[in-house]
Structure 1
């Protein structure tokens, strides 16, 4: 009995402290990067993107039925929807980008609602969502370059979509990294980035502004002469 008791004591002494250390090794993630925080980010940023895509769809349909009509988003020479909608960049995949926006932002919002119910999504779903987010980042970057350097005009609804896609991609990607959904090796980088998420977003915004201004600078300068 004494031997058995000593074995039990040794097991408690050697296992429980190590488990406690492992559990307390990392601080809890900030709220925004946990499931409930990510859910609200998906709903809010995705919801605004969906509304902007819907508004752009209405403008697109309006331009088809009344080609000479003045659209709500036709504000001035530099902020107008018509050039973007009628350009090749308006249908990158062979169909209007607005269809892609309606579908993808709807998926984003629904994902957020599902998370709010407390449901756990499988890892393959998060990987697919992450691939979609990377595709969205690539697409808006191309459209930003095209708007600045080719069209030299900006679409109002497109800019709203860009503005809300950037934090949507940034926050969800960092959250996925920090929670290990993209591989355990990426967890330290993800957790570190949670403290710098807003810096990443601001730098991205500044990069977009710089890109667009670089492309439109001559046109803006000439308009002021």
Structure 2
């Protein structure tokens, strides 16, 4: 059976559903992640040479890149996690630029990209949880990666829903398309970011600013 995108009468219209906007969001998110991964990689090298080094983002006991950087969770695979970002984000940037230019990727490719980025998202939130509740300190650059990874994931998901790329059952695809068309998808994404900020404030309160 051949694949066809969401039919014209079902597909939402408007700039915020366009490839320029959605792949543009992916591009911005990936660029931000790449910059953050680059800074974190530099910090990781510095900490490897001197674990007691004071980093630029060591602000207080809560906002401390150094405290997070020396924790075992920051090198889960035997090397700094940020190195993964240096590898992965250029791939996402390439996909985003090609998407903006009008390239239509095969359905299997976009499904694979969504799946791989889902694993990246899960990893990012595992690190966020570890930072919040185990390490007990927050790294601004790590938080930036978490936020930008979320942005890339939801932008890619938005596009894949529009294009019916994900091999979902018809009922699930119809429901997801309706969620996107109603604007609820964007509202839920914004709410998620608000909840993340609220969770940080609830955990650390004014100590963040101390």
TM range (shorter): 0.7 to 0.9
Alpha-carbon shift at residue 130 of structure 1 (Å): 0.5
Q: Note the C-alpha offset of 1:110.
A: 0.9
Cα shift at 1:134: 1.1
1:147-183, Cα deviation, whole Å (9 max, x unpaired)? 1111111001001111222222122112212210013
Which residue in the other structure is 1:193 paired with?
179
- What is aligned with 1:132? 116
Unaligned stretches of 5+ residues in structure 2: 1-5
Distance 1:144 1:62, change over 3 A: same
Q: 1:1-225 alignment to 2 at 5 Å?
A: 25-183=9-167, 185=170, 186-194=172-180, 195-213=183-201, 215-216=203-204, 220=207
Q: Distance in 2 between matches of 1:135 and 1:170?
A: 13
CA contact 1:73–1:81 (8 Å) conserved in 2: yes
How far off is 1:63 after superposition? 1.9
Q: Are the counterparts in 1 of residues 161 and 177 from structure 2 also a CA contact under 8 Å?
A: yes
**CA-CA distance at 1:52 after TM superposition:** 0.8
Whether the aligned pair in 1 keeps the contact of 2:10 and 2:177 (CA below 8 Å) is: no
Higher Cα radius of gyration: 1
Aligned mates of 2:25, 2:63 — CA distance in 1: 28
The Cα of 1:213 is off from its aligned counterpart by 4.5
SS in 2 for 1:55: helix
The farther-off stretch of 63-72 and 132-141 is 63-72
Counterpart Cα distance in 2 of 1:154 and 1:210? 14
RMSD between aligned alpha carbons? Answer: 2.6
Greater percentage in helix = 1
- Tell me how far apart the structure 2 counterparts of residues 198 and 34 of structure 1 sit (CA, whole Å): 14
How many residues in Structure 1 have an aligned counterpart in Structure 2? 201
Structure 2 length as normaliser, TM-score?
Answer: 0.83
The answer as to whether partners of 1:145 and 1:211 remain within 8 angstroms in 2 is no
Q: Quickly say closer, same or farther: Cα 1:199–1:87, change in 2 above 3 A.
A: same
Distance 1:33 1:132, change over 3 A: farther
Structure with the bigger RCO (C-alpha within 8 Å, sep 6+) is 2
